[in-house]
Amino acid sequence: MISDTDLEAGLRDLRTRADEIPPPPAGLAELTRARYRAQRRSRAAWAAGGLVAALVLVGVPVAASMLAVDSDRGQAASERTVVPSPSEGLYALPTRGSLADDQEWLAGITARDWQPVTDGATPPGGELPDPAVDTRRVAFAGDVYSGRVALVLGLDDGRLGYAWFTGPEGADAAEMEPASDPSTIGPDAALALLDAPAPGASETLVVVAHDGDRVDLGLTVVEASGKLRADRFDLPVEDGVAVVEAELPEVLWSWQDVRVHRSAGGTRAFQLVDSARLRGGAGPVASPGDVAAADPRGLVGGIAPEITRSIVADQLAGYGLSAEQAAPTLLAAAPVDAKGRYGELYGMTHPSGATSTWVVVGHYQHPQEGAEIYDLPPAPAGTGLLDRAIAVPVRSTMLVSAPGAGVRAELLGAAGEVLGTVPLARGTGAVPLTGVAATVTVRVLDADGEVVAEAPVTRLGK
C-alpha cells in the first residue's frame, strides 16, 4: 500500500528520473496497439449487436482468409468447394476501371508473376494459386487516389485465384508490384483492397463487386445519451466498383464493418486485404500514427509516451475521429501500486457532446511489460470533460478528476457516509484505497464547501 506522501513524491520527481530510464524496446507500442485493437473490435461488435452481418478485420495479411460469411448459405465461404467457370461470377464480368480498354496494358499485367509478399504465406497443406496466364483476366485496372491499382483473376485447378497489383499513377504494367499474397475466392464473392502510396498517407478503399451491388460501411458512434451506436454509410458505386479516399488515415484504418449487398437481397461474401505499400512492407498494417493528448493540468505521466500516444491514436481511430475533433486530454496520473506502476486517465469529446474516458496502466521502470488499457463507459453530453467528476479505483489507488474549482473530493459509501477525502490540485488527485475501497460516489467541493460536481465511482471492467 502506498501513502499520500509516496503518491505526491512519485509525481514530483518523475521528471528528474525521466533521463535515467532507458527507452522502451522496439515494437512495444505495436504490441500494446495490437492488444487494444482486439478490445476495440469487441466494443464495435457489441455496439452493432445483431445488425452486423460481417466483421472485416483490416490490417492482418492472411493468405486465403475469407473475412465474411455468405448470408444466403450461412456457411463460411472459405469452407466451400467451388469449381468456377468463365461464364459465372466475378470472373465472367467485363474489366472495369480507367484502363479497361487498354488491351496492351491489360495483357502486360496478366503476364506478371503471382508471387507472395509475406514470408510463410503458404497455408498449411496447400499452395498459393498461380494460374496459367491464358486463364487470367483483369477484373479492375485504373488510377485511383493512391496511384494505379489492378486486380487479376485466374483459374487454377478448379480454384478461382486473384492477385492485386499496385504502382504509381500512370505506371506501366512492368512497373506494377504485387500488393498482397495471391489467394482464392468463391466465384460469387467480391474483393477489396485498402491501399496508400506509403504508411501514414491518405488511404484508398477499392471494392470490386458485381454490377448492381451496394456497398456500405459501419462506424461506432457515441450518441449524446452516451450510448454506442453502429452507423452505416453508403459508399459511391459505379459499375459495381466503389473507390473511396479518406483524407485522414485513421478514418479508413478504423473501418470496422464493410458490407457488400446483392441487388437481389442479402450480403455477398468478400475478402479485404491491405496493400504492401500501405504496410510499408510485408509486416503488420501501419498504425494511424501517434497522437499526444493535451495536458492542460500540467500532469506528469509515468508510462512510456510511445505507448500512450499510440493508444490515443487508436482511441480516435476506433470512432473515425481526428485529434482536432475529439481533443484527447490527460485528466489524471499517479502511481497506483507499490511496484511502481502508474495509472493515467484520459478522455475525449465526441461530436455529439458525449465524452468517453479510458485508463492506461503501465510500469515506469519496466516499460517492456507493456500496458493495460481499460475503456470506461461514455458519459452523456451536457458536462464538459474537464468539468466532470470521475473517480476510478486503479490497483491500490483511487484516481480522481474533477472541475478546476474543486479543492477536495469526498468519497462516499453506500449510505452516504464520508469514507475519505482526496486533496485536489488543478482538478486532479489520488489517494490509497485503504479505507475507501467501498466508495460508491465521489462529491467535489470548492473552497467554500459548496458541491460543484458529483458522480458514481467508475470501476474498471464495468
Same-domain check for residues 199 and 94: yes
Q: Which residue has the higher pLDDT, 370 or 457?
A: 457
- Provide the pLDDT confidence category of residue 20 given band limits of 50, 70 and 90: very low
Counting Cα atoms < 13 Å in the Cβ hemisphere of 99 gives 25
DSSP character string of 48-80: HGGG------TT---TT---SEETTTTEEGGG-
User: Among candidates 379, 274, 317, which has minimal Cα distance to 44?
Assistant: 317
Same-domain check for residues 296 and 370: yes
Query: In this structure, what C-alpha cell is assigned to residue 390?
Result: 470521475
Q: Which residue do the cell numbers 473517480 mark? A: 391
In a domain, 296, yes or no: yes
* Burial of 101 from C-beta contacts in 10 A (0-12 / 13-18 / 19+): exposed
This prediction has a pTM of 0.61
What pLDDT, on a 0 to 100 scale, did the predictor assign at position 445? 98
Q: Residue 361 contacts by C-beta under 8 Å, 6 or more apart in sequence?
A: 303, 336, 341, 342, 343, 344, 371, 372, 374, 394, 395
What pLDDT, on a 0 to 100 scale, did the predictor assign at position 12? 46
Supply the DSSP symbol for 267: B
**pLDDT, average across residues 327-332:** 97
Chain centroid to Cα 163, Å, comes to 26
Task: Decide if pLDDT at 23 tops 80.
Answer: no
Contact between 361 and 371 under an 8 Å Cβ cutoff? The reply is yes
- Provide the pLDDT confidence category of residue 9 given band limits of 50, 70 and 90: low
Task: Flag the least confident range among 64-78, 117-131, 399-413.
Answer: 64-78
Q: Which residue has the higher pLDDT, 249 or 346?
A: 346
Same-domain check for residues 136 and 71: yes
For residue 368, which amino acid is it? Answer: Q
What pLDDT, on a 0 to 100 scale, did the predictor assign at position 72? 35
- Provide the pLDDT confidence category of residue 344 given band limits of 50, 70 and 90: very high
- Provide the pLDDT confidence category of residue 39 given band limits of 50, 70 and 90: very low
pLDDT digit string (tens) for 58-97? 222 222 222 232 333 233 333 333 444 555 789 999 999 9
Same-domain check for residues 94 and 129: yes
Task: Decide if pLDDT at 287 tops 80.
Answer: no
The H or E element containing residue 14 is: helix 14-17
In a domain, 46, yes or no: yes
Q: Which residue do the cell numbers 482526496 mark? A: 422
Residue 165's φ and ψ, nearest 5 degrees, are -130, 145
Task: Decide if pLDDT at 14 tops 80.
Answer: no
**Average pLDDT of the chain, as a whole number:** 79
Q: Residue 411 contacts by C-beta under 8 Å, 6 or more apart in sequence?
A: 391, 398, 418, 419, 420, 421, 422, 436, 439, 441, 442, 457
Same-domain check for residues 124 and 90: yes
What pLDDT, on a 0 to 100 scale, did the predictor assign at position 278? 85
What pLDDT, on a 0 to 100 scale, did the predictor assign at position 208? 97
* Burial of 277 from C-beta contacts in 10 A (0-12 / 13-18 / 19+): buried
Q: Which domain-ending residue is among 234, 255, 279? A: 279
Same-domain check for residues 29 and 131: no
**pLDDT, average across residues 357-368:** 80
Same-domain check for residues 195 and 239: yes
Q: Which residue has the higher pLDDT, 390 or 47?
A: 390
What pLDDT, on a 0 to 100 scale, did the predictor assign at position 322? 84
Task: Decide if pLDDT at 172 tops 90.
Answer: yes
What pLDDT, on a 0 to 100 scale, did the predictor assign at position 283? 53
Q: Which residue has the higher pLDDT, 20 or 90?
A: 90
Domain of 127? Answer: 42-279
Task: Decide if pLDDT at 387 tops 60.
Answer: yes
In a domain, 91, yes or no: yes
In a domain, 461, yes or no: no
Distance CA 449, CA 446 (A): 5
Same-domain check for residues 386 and 255: no
In a domain, 273, yes or no: yes
Same-domain check for residues 318 and 394: yes
Q: Which domain-ending residue is among 262, 279, 296? A: 279
Distance CA 366, CA 386 (A): 31
